[in-house]
Amino acid sequence: MSDPAADDRLGEILELLRADGGRVTSARRAVVASLMASDGHVSAESIAAEVQGAMPDVSVSTVYRTLEVLERLGQVEHVHLGHGPSLYHLADRRHVHLLCRRCDRVIELPDTYLADLADRLADDHGFVLEPRHFALLGTCAECAARADQAG
């Protein structure tokens, strides 16, 4: 059974691609649908594998090009979580990432969480912070507690 809200969102994204002068191919539609069906952060390679399962002729480069266009249109963001591949997610819910260096747990925070720091950097240095691109590294509460107990 289809989700009308998801169908509407898919249609909005595809219309933005059209308005940008791009063709809405079955491959592009499949990339957007795969991204929307993901539970959050997904690699281009994972999207390609899913799309290629139904459409073997779709190349990984097509997936990357589609993600680049979607990012330029403000529909997708990519993030670097540690040393792994770039991960992608829809930009509907902007957030920053905390990454535990010990257990690789990712904690999502609203992007307003760093607003005070962003304001201070802008006021003091004229620097515009873009905190969503990289994860902030540290130790999660559970790993910190285990380390305290062991130490």
Here the CATH number for the domain that contains residue 80 is 1.10.10.10
Burial class (CB in 10 A: 0-12, 13-18, 19+), 139: middle
What does each of the 151 residues of the chain score in pLDDT, given as a tens digit? 567 878 898 999 999 999 999 889 999 999 999 999 987 789 999 999 999 999 999 999 999 999 999 999 999 999 888 777 889 999 887 888 999 999 989 899 998 999 999 999 999 999 999 887 788 899 999 999 988 888 6
Shared-domain flag, residues 85 and 123: no
Ramachandran quadrant class, 27 (left: phi over 0; alpha: psi -120 to 50; beta: rest): alpha
Residue 79 and residue 133 in contact, taking contact as beta carbons nearer than 8 Å: yes
Q: What is the extent of the structural domain holding 42? A: 4-90
Q: How far is CA 145 from the centre of its chain?
A: 29
Q: Which distant-in-sequence residues (6+ apart) come within 8 Å of 41 by Cβ?
A: 79, 81, 87, 88, 89, 106
Shared-domain flag, residues 146 and 103: yes
State the pLDDT at residue 2: 64
Shared-domain flag, residues 39 and 107: no
Q: How many domains does the chain have?
A: 2
State the pLDDT at residue 68: 95
pTM of the model: 0.80
Shared-domain flag, residues 79 and 14: yes
